[in-house]
């Protein structure tokens, strides 16, 4: 059987390896001149391959369509991924939060072992080859795949195939080759596509008081995000102020739950700056600080309570005169300060878009795909894998696990008629 895999990223490589292991004659098409351009960037160049959590916890980390992943995860889970790489002679280690990395800390080593595996299985790789269309023939009620049309060296070529696995990725970091263009040609074939949006992406805001705090990193804070009046995210961890707004792990996770339409109804980030203390405990703490600083100006009394880059913003938001002597601050003013520290609110007006998004939300509608095989429900012999499917996850190695698991399942599901 001739199988074409389109996309030389994590999902496409895993699909090609699996189909070749099953004795298929596999051709991998990649528009770049090398494999894994995005894989190379992952985990800040270290590649967080997967997460070593119990398999059930994988589902908790999927933000969109976790149920769709049931067969793919149970067929080839995170522990199978770790075994796979070990068998490819890649030593791996587990770090904080279950994150799994190559011991070498080089994503290039992940790509190297995958390339070696493809070569050892005799997979033919066509670089500089861009899929431009898929070919189908009528097969009873349905259409059946018969091959692809691609552009190579400015020429159009037609490659016949018995099965095609599409693994062309999302739209984030388009410079890596994942530009979403392949999805538009699917729409013409009656395949529903969910609008693609940036996810795991920093937030922007135009409040100078906030952008002036650039470079400030807050650890152990609580963050709650509202879209209009609806709470869409609540978490605890680390965040960062930047010249454009907000970033850091907690903010990226929050962005997975904020849709583009939400920005129109208003998105608010509420930071609990003292999440370890209740309102009453914090009030006592502030009172203590005020007693020690009673003859100082309010502006000079917050050094122990707040990082210096935050003091100006907190003073301004508190509406307490910065020159006021601490012993003259009223109970009402103190309570206003305490509430501000527990609920520091920031209006968000958008995100940094696909250029800075770690992943893409949306893509091929899961109702178009058989979750037990990854085969398209309307075109026989056409399969999908990886980020091009409308499934996305939080950070921690879960997005690559989606790519490995769906790639494995697609490659395994191709059967002779
Ligand atoms: C900066 C960054 C860091 C990340 N870090 C991590 C991490 O540490 N851990 C983690 O789990 N996830 C991480 N991710 C997410 C993860 O990289 C992706 O979810 C994953 O790589 C998706 O794999 P894929 O194979 O589906 O798509 P891709 O890796 O995007 O591969 C798709 C391939 O298809 C090719 N292609 C597209 N269209 C065509 C066409 N028409 N013809 C031919 N070829 C085509 C592209 O050139 C590309 O090579 C990170 C993402 C980014 C951007």
Atom of ligand 1 nearest to the CA of 129: 43
CA proximity to 118, closest of 46, 35, 32: 35
- 3-state helix vs strand vs coil in the chain, percent to 5: 35, 30, 35
Which CATH number does the domain housing residue 24 bear?
Answer: 3.50.50.60
Taking the centre of ligand 1 as the mean of its atom positions, its distance from the CA of residue 20, in whole angstroms, is: 21
pLDDT beyond 80 at 416: no
Band (pLDDT 50/70/90 cuts) for residue 143 is very high
Location of structure tokens 């050892």: 120
pLDDT at position 321, please? Answer: 95
Taking the centre of ligand 1 as the mean of its atom positions, its distance from the CA of residue 250, in whole angstroms, is: 22
pLDDT at position 181, please? Answer: 86
173 and 217 fall within a common domain: no
CA atoms of 107 and 110, how far apart (whole Å): 5
* Cβ(359) – ligand 1 distance below 6 Å: yes
- Average pLDDT score over residue span 216-235: 96
Atom of ligand 1 nearest to the CA of 385: 26
- Average pLDDT score over residue span 385-400: 98
Give CA 352 to chain center in angstroms: 14
CA atoms of 287 and 284, how far apart (whole Å): 5
Model confidence over 267-288: pLDDT tens digits? 999 999 999 999 999 999 999 9
292 and 162 fall within a common domain: no
pLDDT beyond 90 at 77: yes
138 and 184 fall within a common domain: yes
- Average pLDDT score over residue span 297-319: 94
* Cβ(61) – ligand 1 distance below 6 Å: no
171 and 302 fall within a common domain: no
Band (pLDDT 50/70/90 cuts) for residue 357 is very high
Location of structure tokens 């650039």: 214
Band (pLDDT 50/70/90 cuts) for residue 417 is low
Domain interval for residue 24: 2-198+359-413
Model confidence over 97-135: pLDDT tens digits? 999 999 999 999 999 999 999 999 999 999 999 999 999
pLDDT at position 265, please? Answer: 87
CA atoms of 340 and 331, how far apart (whole Å): 14
* Cβ(218) – ligand 1 distance below 6 Å: no
Among 156-160, 238-242, 302-306, 397-401, the range scoring the smallest mean pLDDT is 302-306
* Cβ(406) – ligand 1 distance below 6 Å: no
Q: How many domains does the chain have?
A: 2
CA atoms of 388 and 361, how far apart (whole Å): 9
Burial grade of 356 (CB within 10 A; 0-12, 13-18, 19 or more): middle
pLDDT at position 214, please? Answer: 97
154 and 12 fall within a common domain: yes
pLDDT at position 159, please? Answer: 97
* Cβ(38) – ligand 1 distance below 6 Å: yes
CA atoms of 320 and 179, how far apart (whole Å): 50
* Cβ(396) – ligand 1 distance below 6 Å: no
118 and 154 fall within a common domain: yes
152 and 254 fall within a common domain: no
Atom of ligand 1 nearest to the CA of 401: 11
Taking CA 110 as the corner, what is the angle to CA 109 and CA 114, rounded to the nearest 5 degrees? Answer: 115
Which CATH number does the domain housing residue 347 bear?
Answer: 1.10.8.50
- Average pLDDT score over residue span 57-71: 97
110 and 168 fall within a common domain: yes
Atom of ligand 1 nearest to the CA of 46: 8
CA atoms of 308 and 257, how far apart (whole Å): 31
Q: What rounded mean pLDDT belongs to the chain?
A: 96
Taking the centre of ligand 1 as the mean of its atom positions, its distance from the CA of residue 177, in whole angstroms, is: 8
* Cβ(29) – ligand 1 distance below 6 Å: yes
Residue 202 near residue 242 (C-beta atoms within 8 A): yes
Residue 325 near residue 299 (C-beta atoms within 8 A): no
CA atoms of 371 and 402, how far apart (whole Å): 13
- Average pLDDT score over residue span 321-345: 96
pLDDT at position 163, please? Answer: 98
pLDDT beyond 70 at 180: yes
pLDDT beyond 90 at 140: no
Percent of the chain with pLDDT over 70: 100
* Cβ(315) – ligand 1 distance below 6 Å: no
pLDDT beyond 90 at 415: no
171 and 157 fall within a common domain: yes
Band (pLDDT 50/70/90 cuts) for residue 139 is confident
Atom of ligand 1 nearest to the CA of 32: 47
Give CA 139 to chain center in angstroms: 38
Which is higher by pLDDT, 8 or 416?
8
258 and 287 fall within a common domain: yes
155 and 214 fall within a common domain: no
CA atoms of 18 and 367, how far apart (whole Å): 24
120 and 187 fall within a common domain: yes
Residue from 4, 62, 109, 168 whose mutation best tests the ligand 1 pocket (most atoms within 8 A of CB): 168
* Domain end among 304, 327, 352: 352
Residue 209 near residue 312 (C-beta atoms within 8 A): yes
Neighbours of 34 (CB within 10 A): 14
Among 46-55, 139-148, 377-386, 390-399, the range scoring the smallest mean pLDDT is 139-148
CA atoms of 36 and 14, how far apart (whole Å): 11
Residue of minimum CA distance from atom 41 in ligand 1: 131
């Amino acid at each position: 059987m001739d199988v074409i895999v389109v996309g030389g990223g994590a999902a496409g490589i895993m699909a090609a390896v699996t189909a070749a292991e099953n004795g298929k004659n596999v051709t991998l098409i990649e528009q770049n001149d090398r494999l894994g351009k995005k894989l190379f960037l992952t985990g800040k160049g270290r590649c967080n391959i997967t997460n070593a959590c119990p398999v059930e916890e994988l589902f908790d980390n999927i933000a969109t369509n976790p149920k769709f992943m049931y067969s793919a995860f149970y067929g080839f889970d995170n522990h199978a991924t770790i075994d796979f790489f070990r068998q490819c002679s890649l030593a791996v280690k587990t770090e904080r939060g279950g994150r799994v990395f190559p011991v070498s800390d080089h994503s290039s080593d992940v790509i190297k072992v995958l390339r070696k595996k493809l070569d050892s299985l005799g997979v033919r790789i066509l670089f500089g080859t861009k899929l431009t269309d898929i070919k189908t023939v009528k097969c009873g009620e349905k259409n059946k795949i018969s091959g692809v049309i691609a552009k190579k060296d400015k020429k159009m070529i037609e490659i016949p195939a018995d099965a095609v696995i599409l693994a062309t990725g999302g739209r984030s970091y388009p410079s890596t080759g994942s530009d979403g263009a392949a999805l538009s040609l699917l729409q013409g074939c009656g395949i529903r596509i969910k609008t693609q949006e940036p996810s795991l992406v920093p937030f922007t805001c135009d409040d100078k008081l906030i952008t002036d705090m650039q470079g400030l990193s807050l650890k152990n804070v609580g963050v709650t995000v509202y879209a209009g009046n609806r709470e869409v995210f609540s978490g605890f961890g680390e965040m960062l102020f930047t010249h454009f707004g907000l970033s850091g792990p907690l903010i990226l996770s929050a962005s997975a739950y904020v849709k583009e339409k939400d920005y129109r109804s208003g998105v608010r980030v509420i930071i609990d700056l003292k999440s370890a203390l209740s309102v009453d405990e914090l009030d006592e703490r502030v009172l203590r600080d005020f007693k020690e600083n009673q003859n100082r100006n309010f502006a000079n009394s917050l050094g122990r309570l707040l990082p210096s880059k935050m003091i100006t913003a907190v003073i301004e938001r508190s509406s307490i005169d910065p020159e006021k002597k601490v012993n003259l601050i009223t109970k009402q003013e103190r309570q206003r300060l305490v509430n501000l520290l527990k609920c520091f609110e920031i209006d968000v007006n958008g995100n940094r878009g696909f250029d800075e998004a770690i992943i893409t939300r949306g893509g091929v509608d899961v109702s178009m795909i058989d979750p037990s095989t990854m085969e398209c429900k309307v075109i026989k012999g056409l399969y999908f894998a990886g980020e091009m499917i409308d499934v996305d996850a939080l950070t921690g190695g879960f997005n690559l696990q989606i790519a490995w698991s769906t790639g494995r399942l697609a490659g395994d599901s191709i059967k002779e008629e």
